[in-house]
Every structure is written in structure tokens, then in C-alpha cells.
Amino acid sequence: MKLFTAEQIRALDRYTIEHEPIASIDLMERAAQAFTDWFVQHYPASRPVAIFCGMGNNGGDGLAIARLLQAQRYTVQCFVMKLKAQGSDDFETNLQRLQELTTVTLLERAEQLPVALPDDALLIDALFGSGLDRPVEGFPAQLIQFLNRTKLPTVAVDIASGLFADRPNGSGDVIVKPEATFSFQFPKLAFLLPGNAQYVGEWYVGDIGLHPEVIQQTETSWFYTDAAAARALLQPRTRFSHKGNFGRALLIAGSYGKIGAAVLSAHACLRAGAGLTSALIPQCGYKIMQTALPEVMVMTAGSNKKIVSDFPPLGAYDAIGVGPGLGKDFKTAKALGGLIEKMISPMVIDADAINLTAENQAWLAKLPRQSIFTPHPKEFERLVGPVANDYERLARAKEFAQRYQCVIVLKGAYTAVVLWNGEVHFNTTGNPGMAKGGSGDALTGILTALLAQEYDSATAAKLGVYLHGAAGDLAAQHNGMIAMTATDLIEQLGHAFEQLNHA
């Protein structure tokens, strides 16, 4: 799925109005009906509803929603924040339609706050939409603060009032804090960034019939990997395939006390379909790996039994993943630097391998092109330095990926796969139960397996992140988010593949 900026979405609206063709007031009605249909499914008519509207088109949506909810037998109060003599044309049309049915209360100054609301009311925020281009101040800010103070469940129409759709807000900006947001046609970029969580809540998207031709034609660098997109990336297996067709994968991982990271990564590599999986680990982990995963071929190297301190010739492998539990001993660092200098094929670089690279930035120029880095936010900052906000993090990731011709997998909710061509692909799968040790090790194994199977780096990253999250979702269903472990996730990879095959 493509994601668009607020300005692009307004252009899609205009194109739809001109080429469907459809009157703008009728497109607004279609959007309001989509919101109402969703709202009726999620909230009972037994609870009163208070809708707060601005005087632009977002407010027009709110007025139309008020009328449609009344038709569904909801008890509705409608408040309009009156800041000027006249609102947008479609706002005025919907105001007239609603006033023919019920009373609309005008709010013009702070002295009218607080308004009386039932204790069990549901609030709908339609004050400002995605066209907002400056922080909310004055009476509008006071009204938003009042809505937040009520602590009543609030649903935002298209986007929470005060939240910018595709650029950072200031730390002191006043923004509605909804429990849910219903967005028209597409999610907003702001929904996918962790700093905005309290201003989005659970979010939903409703199709309002924007013209498919212009959606296809409009270029963007932002994408959203859903099941359909991930399914299109899967390579089929033929009946006469054999293990040699699916690559030789090597995981370089583990140190004393962290052999579990190597086991988890190798286990995930097996489950993700590598034809042959090998592990290069310290001597202290040899019996552990041989016992835990008899399918894995195990090597040790170097005289130090507690760390990986030397790498033998590794030209026989189709893909190498390095870093889980590796440690940062200077001998390990020296060996890793030599590996990076010799490697030609893309690598997966995770955990301590990222940290060591951050401390040895000269390695980056020697890095095999299209390698995949898998940092969590703090590891990423070790690579590029501090960032001020989520948008700067994405911009720096784009710069890094383009400069070093690599892939950056920024781990977290809606993990962002940042490609060297400037594209960013957000992921749709995963849950908070994955926020525990071992989940990242599993991802490294999955990505290494896909590279070994001759998926290109961009495809491996997008598909691997999706499958990792899908397996995590299945693990949460079976074990619960609190109790699930990385091993549970790995055990669900087979079901995740099958689920995707039938998507």
C-alpha cells in the first residue's frame, strides 16, 4: 500500500472530484458515511455522543457524522468552534442540513468552557484535519485541553486535532489524545511513529473511493507492507527442489553467557527455509548448539573459548548474518573488520556487530553493498549520532542507506525498512509481546535465511520483517503477549508462511 503526504491526499481528493466526477459535498458525505458505519460497529447507541467541529472540511465531516448518527438513533450534541464569520463551503452546507434537524451549539470564547457533558459520553474530535499547518493556540488550544481533561473516550475524525500529518510537532503543542482515530482512505505517516502514540490511539482506515487511477499514478517514497504486498514477494518452491536450491546460510554469533542468542538466530534461520544452516560460535557453545539444534552444522574458531576471535575462509556461504550475542572483545572486533573487508555478498549486521561498526566507522566504506542493518533506536543512534525526533530518525536512516547503499531495518512498532533508493516500507505485523530478549536474534536468522535463498536484500528485509511480526502475532494468540517468548515466535514461523501463502 502507498502512503501519501497531506498535500498529496488533498490532490487525490481534487482529482477524484474532477474525474469521477463527484461534487465535493458528496465526497464529504461518503467519508462521513464510512466513519459512521465504523463507529456504529464499535460504539453502542446507548451512549450519548458529543461532536466538536471546526469550521473547515474536517468540521464539515463532523457535522455530517452528527446527522448520520442521529439517523442511527444516537443521542448527539454538536458543538462548533466558531472562529470566523463563515466556514468552508461544504462546512456551511452541512451546518445548514444539521440545523434543520437539531440545535448546534456555537463555542466562541474560553468563558463558555467547560461545557456540560454526560459522564458516559463518547466524544468525536472534528476540530482540525490534516491541513493544519501551525500549532494550535488561543481558544482552540483551550478547547482541546478541555477535551483531554474530560478523560472521556474520544475518537478523532481522520487525524487528531493539533497533530501534524507528516512533520514533527513541538514538545509543547496542544493535541487531542484520542483512544481511536478513523482515517480516510490511507493512514497518515504520523500514525506510524512512536512519539505520536498518545495522539493516535488505535487507528482504522476506511475506503472513501478516491480515484484508483490517480492513486496508481502518484509517486511516493512511503509504503505499508500488508499481507497482499508480502504475499507478492514470496518465491514458490518447485517439486524437484533440493537443499542446494535454498542456499547455505551462516550465523556468526554468541559469546560466553550469550550462546542462547546464537541458538535462537540459527533456529529462526532453519525455520525460515535456508537449505543448509551453519553457525560459527565460541568453543563454549559447541555442545549447546549441537544438542539444541542437530540440523545446524557447528564451527568454532580461535583459541579463546569464550568469544569468536577468528573467522576461517567463508566463501562457501551464500549469506552471512553476524552479531547476536557476539560481544565486543577487541579480538572479535578485529576479526569482524577483516570479514567486512573481504566480503562481497550482502550481510545481515545485528546487535554487537552494529555496535562494533559504530565504533569503527571506517568499516562502512568497505561494507558489501546492499547489506542489511537491523538496529533498534539506540543502536541506530550509535551509528549516526543523536536524533531530535522520529522524523529526523527516518531522514537520517534514508541518508545512511543511500550513502552506504544498504538497508536499514529500524526495529519497533511498524518497523521501518529503509532502502538505498529512498523508499521506506513500514510493516503491518507484530505486537508488544515481541518486546523481549531474543526477538531481534530471531529476525537476524530469518533475514539471513532469505538472503541465502536468493531473495534480494530489499525483498528479504520487507518479507522477513513481515513474517517475523506475523509469527509474533501467532505466538501472542497462543501464549499471550506477556508470556510469549522468542522461541514461541520461531515455532510459529511455519504457520506464518502458510498463512501468507493463503492470503
Domain termination residue (choose one: 219, 237, 268): 219
Residue 258 lies in a domain: yes
The pLDDT of residue 172: 95
DSSP-assigned letter for residue 436: S
Query: pLDDT by residue (tens digit) across 290-338?
Result: 999 999 999 998 889 999 999 888 888 999 999 999 999 999 999 999 9
Closest among 10, 388, 391, 395 to 189, alpha carbons compared? 391
Verify that 104 and 132 share a domain, yes or no.
yes
Give the integer Cα–Cα distance in Å for 24 and 305. Answer: 72
Question: The C-alpha cell of 170 is what?
Answer: 513541538
DSSP for 451-473, written as a single string: HHTT--HHHHHHHHHHHHHHHHH
Return binding residues for AMP: 411-415, 440
Return binding residues for (6S)-NADPHX: 57-61, 129-135, 158, 261, 325, 376, 441
pTM for this entry: 0.96
> In angstroms, how far is CA 297 from the centroid of its own chain?
35
Count other Cβ atoms within 10 Å, centred on residue 342: 13
Return binding residues for K(+): 58, 125, 161
Instruction: Give me the mean pLDDT over the 76-88 stretch.
Output: 97
Give the integer Cα–Cα distance in Å for 270 and 298. Answer: 13
Report which residue type is found at 266. Answer: A
State which residues form the domain around 14: 2-219
Residue 224 lies in a domain: no
Residue 266 lies in a domain: yes
Helices (H), 100-253: 138-150, 212-217, 227-231
Look at the chain and report how many structural domains it folds into.
Answer: 2
Residue 349 lies in a domain: yes
CA distances for 290 relative to 243, 295, 415, angstroms: 20, 8, 33
Verify that 206 and 238 share a domain, yes or no.
no
Give the integer Cα–Cα distance in Å for 475 and 184. Answer: 31
Sign of CA dihedral 453, 455, 461, 464: negative
Helix (H) or strand (E) holding 417: strand 416-418
Verify that 71 and 126 share a domain, yes or no.
yes
Query: pLDDT by residue (tens digit) across 364-413?
Result: 999 999 999 999 999 999 999 999 999 999 999 999 999 999 999 999 99
Verify that 303 and 352 share a domain, yes or no.
yes
Verify that 248 and 331 share a domain, yes or no.
yes
Total residue length of the chain: 503
Dihedral over alpha carbons 180, 183, 186, 190 (to 10 degrees): -60
Output the domain CATH number for residue 146. 3.40.50.10260
Report which residue type is found at 475. Answer: A
Give the integer Cα–Cα distance in Å for 287 and 292. Answer: 8
Residue 71 lies in a domain: yes
Read off the pLDDT band of 243 (50, 70, 90): confident
Q: Are strands 276-281 and 407-410 parallel, antiparallel or unpaired?
A: unpaired
Verify that 249 and 205 share a domain, yes or no.
no
Query: pLDDT by residue (tens digit) across 119-128?
Result: 999 999 999 9
Verify that 211 and 292 share a domain, yes or no.
no
Return binding residues: 57-61, 125, 129-135, 158, 161, 261, 325, 376, 411-415, 440-441
